[in-house]
C-alpha cells in the first residue's frame, strides 16, 4: 500500500498539526515593528494569553520553546541557593527541576513514578514538615499539569488546596505546555502563581513561542530574585517600548500565526474546545481498552481518572513499539509518538490535542488496529468500533 496518496496523519504529542488557516496567516510580508498594527497585535495577544490561562495576572511572550519558558519562569522568581520541590509524575517536571539545578537552585524531588499522578496528600505532608523544621524553606513547587511522556494529568486544583492546607508560602508553578487549550486551566481559581506553556501543542502554532503568566504574588517575589537576566526579565519586558516586549525584534510571523490560532479557539469556544478534547481522548481510551484485552498492550497510566485528554501512552508489554510505529508510518501514513525517558522502546503514544477531529482520530485508531493485525500482535478486535460507538452515543445531532 502506498502512503504517497492522501495526507499524512501526524499523531505525535508536539509539534501538533498546524491548521491551514494558521499557515496562511504567516504567508505575508513583514511589517513595521515600531508602530501601527503590530503594537495592537501584541497587546491583543498578551490579553488573550491571560484569558486562556483564566487569570488577571500579567502575561509574557518569549521567542523560545517550552524549555525557554521554563527558564523564564525560574529566573524571574528564584535566587541561587533557593530550595524548590519538584513533583514527579513523568519526565517533564523533573526536566524543569534539572534546569533549576543547573542555575544553582537546590532541588528536592517528591518521588512519584511514570504510572501515577501526584498525590496531593503527600504534597501537604511534605510542606507541613517543611514548616515544622524551621519555616518555609521551600520557595517554589514545580509540577506539570499533563506530562506527555507518561500521559498523566495532575489535579492542579487539589495540589493548590494542599499547599494552602499546609499553610505554606511556596509559589505554585505549573507547566501547561501539553494542557493549555486542551483541558481546563483556572490559574486564579486554583491558586497558581506562575504558569508557562508553548505554541506547538494545543495552540496549533509552529514551535518558537513560549508563554509565561504570573500573578501579583509572583511579581512581588520577582523584585528580589537573584537569577534575573536581561533576556528573560519580567521588569524589562514590561517597559513602554514595543521592542522590550520581546527583548528585541518581534517574531512577526509567529505572532500572525498565533493570532489566527487564538481566533479559531475563541470562535469554537474554549469550553467547546475542552469538550472536543475530552470526547476524542475517551474515544482513544475506549479503543485501547478493547485492544488491551489481548494482554500484549495496555495503558501506561494505571488509574483511569489520571489519564490525560491530550495524549495516551500505550505500553507494548515486551513487544517492539518501533515495529508498529514503522508499519503505521510507512504503510499507512500515520505518525505515532514514540516512548521517551523510561518508556523508550517500551511504549508508543497517541496524541489527541490541538487541531484534531473525529476523522483524524478514528483514522489513526483504524490504522493502529490494522497494524496490530498485520504484525500479529495479540489484541482483542473491535477497538476502533468501540471508539465509534462512544462518539455515536455522545455526539448527537
The answer to whether residues 285 and 277 touch, using CB atoms and an 8 Å cutoff, is: no
Which phi and psi angles does 342 have, rounded to 5°?
-65, -20
User: What's the rounded mean pLDDT across residues 159-182?
Assistant: 97
Strand, coil or helix: what is 190? helix
Structural domains in the chain, CATH included, are: 9-16+270-394 (3.90.1150.10), 31-265 (3.40.640.10)
Place of cell 486542551: 182
Within 10 angstroms of residue 359's Cβ, the number of other Cβ atoms is: 9
Tell me what pLDDT residue 270 has: 97
pLDDT score for 1:
62
CA dist 307 and 327 (Å) reads 26
Taking residues 175-190, report their average pLDDT: 98
* Per-residue pLDDT tens digits for 199-210: 999 999 999 999
Contact (CB, 8 A) for 4 and 169: no
| pLDDT, tens digit (0-9, with 9 covering 90-100), for 288-316 | 999 999 889 999 999 999 999 999 999 99
- pLDDT at residue 132 in the model: 78
Distance CA 115, CA 151 (A): 8
**Separation of CA 214 from chain center:** 17
Given this model, what pLDDT does residue 2 score?
A: 58
Q: Please report where in the chains the cell 490541538 appears, as a residue.
A: 354
Contacts of 266 (CB under 8 A, 6+ apart): 48
Contact 210, 69 (CB under 8 A): yes
The percentage of the chain sitting over the pLDDT mark of 90, rounded to a whole number, equals: 94
List Cα–Cα distances, 253 to 19, 27, 31, 207, 232, in angstroms. Answer: 15, 8, 10, 12, 21
The pLDDT of residue 35: 81
For residues 124-147, give the mean pLDDT. 92
Question: What average pLDDT does the segment 367-378 reach?
Answer: 97
- For 290-314, b/e burial (b = at least 16 CB within 10 A) is bbbebebbbbbbeeeebbbbbbbbb
**What's the rounded Cα separation, in Å, for the pair 264 and 273?**
10
Say how many CA atoms lie within 13 Å of 4 toward its Cβ. Answer: 1
Average pLDDT (216-224) is 98
For residue range 274-293, list pLDDT tens digits in order: 999 999 999 999 999 999 99
HSE (side-chain half, CA atoms, 13 Å) at 385 = 4
Residue pair 14/148 in contact (Cβ under 8 Å)? The answer is yes
387 — phi, psi (to 5°)? Answer: -65, -40
The pLDDT of residue 4 is 59
The answer to whether residue 257 scores a pLDDT higher than 80 is yes
pLDDT at residue 133 greater than cutoff 90? no
CA-nearest of 207, 161, 213 to 13 is 207
Average pLDDT rounded to a whole number, residues 95-102: 98
- Judge whether residue 221 has pLDDT over 90: yes
**Bond before 15 cis per omega within 30 degrees:** yes
Task: Taking residues 247-260, report their average pLDDT.
Answer: 97
Residues 211 and 196: beta-carbon distance below 8 Å: yes
Beta-bridge partner residues of 63: 209
Q: What is the edge-to-edge ordering of all strands in the sheet holding 334-338?
A: 9-11, 334-338, 347-351, 311-315, 298-299
The grid coordinates listed for 58 are: 500579567
Q: Compute the distance between CA of residue 302 and CA of residue 119 in angstroms, rounded to an integer.
A: 14
* Alpha-helical segments (H) within 241-357: 252-268, 270-291, 321-332
Buried b (16+ CB within 10 A) or exposed e, 361-377: bbbbbbbbbbbbeeeeb
- Residue 373 has phi, psi (to 5 degrees) of -70, -45
The overall average pLDDT reported for the chain is 96
Per-residue model confidence (pLDDT) at position 150: 98
pLDDT band for position 66 (50/70/90)? Answer: very high
What is the tens place of the pLDDT at every residue in 384-395?
999 999 999 999
Q: Evaluate the CA torsion angle 315, 318, 321, 324 in order and state its sign.
A: negative
Cα distance between residue 276 and residue 267, in whole Å: 14
Report whether pLDDT(3) > 70.
no
Mean pLDDT across 212-230: 98
Q: For 133, how many CA atoms within 13 A lie in the half-sphere containing its CB?
A: 8
Question: Mean pLDDT across the stretch 249-260?
Answer: 98
Amino acid 38: pLDDT: 95
Q: What is the mean pLDDT of residues 168-190?
A: 98
Arithmetic mean of pLDDT, 106-128: 97
Predicted confidence at residue 124, as pLDDT, reads 98
Query: Can you give the pLDDT at residue 392?
Result: 97
* 24-33: average pLDDT: 95
Amino acid at each position: 500500500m502506498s502512503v504517497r496518496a492522501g495526507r499524512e496523519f501526524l499523531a505525535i504529542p508536539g509539534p501538533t498539526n498546524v491548521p491551514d488557516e494558521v499557515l496562511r496567516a504567516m504567508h505575508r510580508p513583514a511589517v513595521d515593528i515600531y508602530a501601527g498594527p503590530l503594537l495592537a497585535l501584541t497587546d491583543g495577544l498578551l490579553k488573550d494569553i491571560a484569558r486562556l490561562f483564566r487569570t488577571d495576572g500579567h502575561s509574557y511572550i518569549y521567542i523560545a520553546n517550552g524549555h525557554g519558558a521554563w527558564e523564564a519562569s525560574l529566573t524571574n522568581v528564584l535566587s541561587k541557593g533557593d530550595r524548590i520541590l519538584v513533583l514527579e509524575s513523568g519526565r517533564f517536571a523533573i526536566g524543569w527541576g534539572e534546569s533549576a539545578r543547573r542555575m544553582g537552585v537546590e532541588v528536592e524531588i517528591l518521588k512519584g513514578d511514570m504510572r501515577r499522578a501526584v498525590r496531593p496528600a503527600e504534597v501537604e505532608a511534605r510542606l507541613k514538615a517543611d514548616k515544622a523544621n524551621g519555616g518555609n524553606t521551600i520557595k517554589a513547587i514545580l509540577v506539570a499539569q499533563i506530562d506527555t511522556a507518561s500521559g498523566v494529568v495532575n489535579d492542579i486544583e487539589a495540589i493548590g488546596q494542599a499547599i494552602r492546607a499546609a499553610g505554606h508560602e511556596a509559589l505554585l508553578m505549573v507547566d501547561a505546555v501539553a494542557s493549555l487549550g486542551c483541558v481546563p486551566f483556572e490559574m486564579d481559581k486554583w491558586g497558581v502563581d506562575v504558569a508557562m506553556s508553548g505554541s506547538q501543542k494545543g495552540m496549533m502554532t509552529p514551535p518558537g513561542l513560549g508563554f509565561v503568566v504570573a500573578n501579583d504574588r509572583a511579581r512581588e517575589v520577582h523584585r528580589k530574585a537573584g537569577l534575573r537576566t536581561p533576556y528573560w526579565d519580567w521588569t524589562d519586558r514590561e517597559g513602554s517600548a514595543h521592542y522590550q516586549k520581546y527583548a528585541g525584534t518581534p517574531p512577526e510571523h509567529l505572532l500572525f500565526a498565533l493570532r489566527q490560532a487564538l481566533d479559531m479557539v475563541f470562535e469554537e469556544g474554549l469550553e467547546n474546545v475542552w469538550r472536543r478534547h475530552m470526547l476524542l481522548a475517551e474515544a482513544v481510551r475506549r479503543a485501547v481498552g478493547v485492544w488491551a484485552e489481548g494482554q500484549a498492550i495496555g495503558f501506561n497510566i494505571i488509574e483511569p481518572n489520571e489519564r490525560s485528554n491530550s495524549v495516551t501512552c500505550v505500553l507494548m508489554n515486551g513487544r517492539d513499539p518501533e515495529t508498529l510505529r514503522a508499519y503505521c508510518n510507512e504503510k499507512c501514513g500515520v505518525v505515532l509518538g514514540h516512548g521517551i525517558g523510561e518508556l523508550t522502546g517500551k511504549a508508543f503514544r497517541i496524541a489527541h490535542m490541538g487541531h484534531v477531529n473525529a476523522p483524524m482520530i478514528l483514522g489513526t485508531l483504524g490504522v493502529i488496529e490494522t497494524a496490530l493485525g498485520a504484525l500479529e500482535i495479540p489484541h482483542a478486535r473491535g477497538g476502533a468500533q468501540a471508539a465509534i460507538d462512544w462518539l455515536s452515543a455522545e455526539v448527537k445531532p
